[in-house]
Amino acid sequence: MGERRLLVADRLHMVPGSPHDNAVLVDDGQVVATGVATELRGSGVEELTFPGATLLPGLRDAHLHPVPYAALLSGVSLKSARDIAELATRLRAAAEATSQPIVAMRLDDETLAERRLPTRLDLDDAVGDRPTLVHRYCGHVAVANSAALALAGIDGSTPDPDGGIIDRDPAGVPTGVLRETAIEIASRAMAGSSPVTPSQLLHALRALTALGLTSIGAMVRVGDGPWSSLGNEAELIALAAEELPLRVHGYVIANTVDELIAGRASLSGRSPRLRWAGLKRFADGSFGGHTAAMLEPYADAADEMGTLRLSGVDATLGRACLDMGGTVAIHAIGDRACREVIDLFEELGAPAGRARIEHVSVITQDDMLRMASLGIVGCVQPAFLGSEADWLEHRVGPGRIASTYAFAAMTDAGVLLAAGSDCPVEPPDPWAGIALARDRAGVVPDQGLDAEASLALFTSGGAAALGEPMPLAVGSPADVIVVDRDPVAATATEVRHTRVHHVFVGGEEIAVDPTLPNWVD
């Protein structure tokens, strides 16, 4: 048996729990009991007391891209660039600092003064003949300069790949803008040019624990993809396995069964904190790129209904994953994509809890009910509301806005919801996510959740989505955090300012360093 330890604060919040609970008894890294400290004290029990604080289950981010996040922290971010001139200045500085191709992230054309994507010519002016690939923050659109297009062999005669688009000018010459699978052509040509190191990855993960995260659903590549330039992500996490500060559940972004098997091998048997969880696939794109697959045209683009990426490959991979004991997670933002993914899960006979729809951004009432009846988990991103509030209704239209990020309606329909950040698409801060699930940045407020349900998205809901036991249940791992306020009693604004004082993963205290940078704009 390990050391028995009693964690005591002013209050304990868990689902389910008593309003009078304020302590967690831990033995050998597991929860022995929760309740009132006066009833749990005993001889031989070390007591750690945190006056004025609140004990919570460790937070879960059910959908995060850890390797691109690490690349962001050590690379080039463009989100806060005010115009194309400032974007060019940042790229020029990056080119002066390295002789390698440039890979930049988090471009946001919605906030640039020009309100447009840059072109290859804009990038050429900034970096010359250095191969450069700039990813839009949604991850579903990128811009390549002329050198990167040439390196990838993309010219006027290059056909659009299945599930992707190469934007062209009136003369048929590529503009540099690449959508969906077209990004992979350029990224593949730059593969390995901007690798992330194990130390950079561990630095990023330690920054996550300082936010109160004790588990993540890690979306990781093994083969081609929009971030091929970063190297094999599953192998990188395997190299860092013995030093992981939190639990990592890996969902392999695979295009073949062999890739899925290779990813499972990389993520298995390395550390108690690392496991292969399943498969990640894509049914469509994003609102920002007008590539989310919709049942009706976009309100601001009457001839566009998005791009559906599902094919027979998804069924083949889904069956293989389920046969291997994994969970199938499929990205679907538009209502058409959500419907098609539900059809696929029904066809596969996926057991309840082992099918996830990632984002489930717009969905009809009938399809919410189908999700609930089939036990499909919805992994939602409240942080999207913060980024999209200024233009979301303009894109989806007044008729669909009420069914967009419809957290309350999905909950009422019986859908189990978990939350993630989709970082580096959005910042990884779970407290902002909890707050946005409540106030929704003012977008259709009646679809907001109450304080308990918002917290559950990142605790019990996240645990269920990741295949973990109920947080703080007897016998479960002692993943506990100590914070400076009660997030249930606090207002949404106050929750955004929550500070994490202590983090325990499996009963082991993980050093919290609030000075670690966890975001770059």
Amino acid code (one letter) for 154: I
- In this prediction, residue 497 has a pLDDT band, given cuts at 50, 70 and 90, of very high
Angle between helices 335-348 and 312-323 (to 10 degrees): 50
Structure token pair of residue 505: 């993963």
Q: Note the pLDDT of residue 16.
A: 79
- In this prediction, residue 2 has a pLDDT band, given cuts at 50, 70 and 90, of low
88 and 157 belong to one structural domain:
yes
- In this prediction, residue 193 has a pLDDT band, given cuts at 50, 70 and 90, of low
139 and 105 belong to one structural domain:
yes
Q: Looking at the domain assignment, is residue 270 inside a domain? A: no
In the listed set 169, 184, 199, which residue is the last one of a domain according to the structure?
A: 184
Arithmetic mean of pLDDT, 287-295: 94
More confident residue, 89 or 138: 89
293 and 308 belong to one structural domain:
yes
Q: SS3 for 62?
A: strand
462 and 483 belong to one structural domain:
no
Query: How far apart, in Å, are the Cα atoms of 387 and each of 187, 246, 278, 410?
Result: 26, 27, 29, 21
By C-alpha distance, which of 422, 381, 421, 420 is closest to 404?
A: 381
Judge if the upstream peptide bond of residue 16 is cis by omega within 30 degrees of 0.
yes
Contacts of 492 (CB under 8 A, 6+ apart): 435, 436, 438, 439
* Distance (Å, whole) CA 291 – CA 28: 49
pLDDT over 80 (residue 224) = no
Amino acid code (one letter) for 317: L
483 and 461 belong to one structural domain:
no
Q: Looking at the domain assignment, is residue 440 inside a domain? A: yes
Q: Note the pLDDT of residue 516.
A: 87
Q: Looking at the domain assignment, is residue 444 inside a domain? A: yes
Arithmetic mean of pLDDT, 201-213: 97
The mean of the pLDDT values for the chain is 95
Q: Note the pLDDT of residue 139.
A: 87
By C-alpha distance, which of 174, 176, 282 is closest to 219?
A: 282
296 and 409 belong to one structural domain:
yes
Amino acid code (one letter) for 235: E
Q: Looking at the domain assignment, is residue 339 inside a domain? A: yes
Q: Looking at the domain assignment, is residue 450 inside a domain? A: yes
pLDDT over 90 (residue 326) = yes
Beta bridge mates, 142? 135, 178
Which strand (E) or helix (H) includes residue 177?
Answer: strand 174-180
Residues 301-319: tens digit of each pLDDT: 999 999 999 999 999 999 9
307 and 355 belong to one structural domain:
yes
Arithmetic mean of pLDDT, 99-117: 93
* Distance (Å, whole) CA 311 – CA 385: 30
For residue 497, give the CATH number of its domain. Answer: 2.30.40.10
461 and 481 belong to one structural domain:
no
* Distance (Å, whole) CA 340 – CA 513: 44
320 and 441 belong to one structural domain:
yes
Structure token pair of residue 138: 């949604």
pTM recorded for the entire structure: 0.94
Query: How far apart, in Å, are the Cα atoms of 475 and each of 24, 25, 35, 327, 506?
Result: 12, 11, 15, 23, 11
pLDDT over 70 (residue 40) = yes
363 and 463 belong to one structural domain:
yes
Q: Note the pLDDT of residue 484.
A: 98
Contacts of 230 (CB under 8 A, 6+ apart): 67, 68, 71, 103, 194, 195, 196
pLDDT over 70 (residue 265) = yes
* Distance (Å, whole) CA 239 – CA 10: 40
* Distance (Å, whole) CA 296 – CA 306: 9
pLDDT over 60 (residue 320) = yes
The position carrying tokens 């566009």 is 304
- In this prediction, residue 191 has a pLDDT band, given cuts at 50, 70 and 90, of confident
Q: Looking at the domain assignment, is residue 32 inside a domain? A: yes
Q: How many C-beta atoms lie closer than 10 Å to residue 390's C-beta?
A: 11
pLDDT over 90 (residue 356) = yes
For residue 138, give the CATH number of its domain. Answer: 3.10.310.70
Arithmetic mean of pLDDT, 82-101: 94
Q: Looking at the domain assignment, is residue 304 inside a domain? A: yes
Residues of the domain holding 83: 77-184
Q: Are 87 and 76 in contact (CB under 8 A)?
A: no
Q: Note the pLDDT of residue 1.
A: 43
Q: Looking at the domain assignment, is residue 66 inside a domain? A: no
Number of domains in the chain: 3
38 and 101 belong to one structural domain:
no
* Distance (Å, whole) CA 248 – CA 203: 15
288 and 428 belong to one structural domain:
yes
* Distance (Å, whole) CA 324 – CA 261: 9
Q: Note the pLDDT of residue 229.
A: 72
In the listed set 138, 165, 184, which residue is the last one of a domain according to the structure?
A: 184
**HEC states along 348-401?**
HCCCCCCEEEEECCECCHHHHHHHHHHCCEEEECCHHHHHHCCCHHHHHCCCCH
pLDDT over 90 (residue 190) = no
Sign, CA dihedral 440-52-209-352, equals negative
Arithmetic mean of pLDDT, 232-259: 96
Contacts of 97 (CB under 8 A, 6+ apart): none
Residues 396-415: tens digit of each pLDDT: 999 999 999 999 999 999 99
For residue 360, give the CATH number of its domain. Answer: 3.20.20.140
Query: How far apart, in Å, are the Cα atoms of 225 and each of 62, 144, 278, 282, 329?
Result: 21, 15, 17, 11, 16
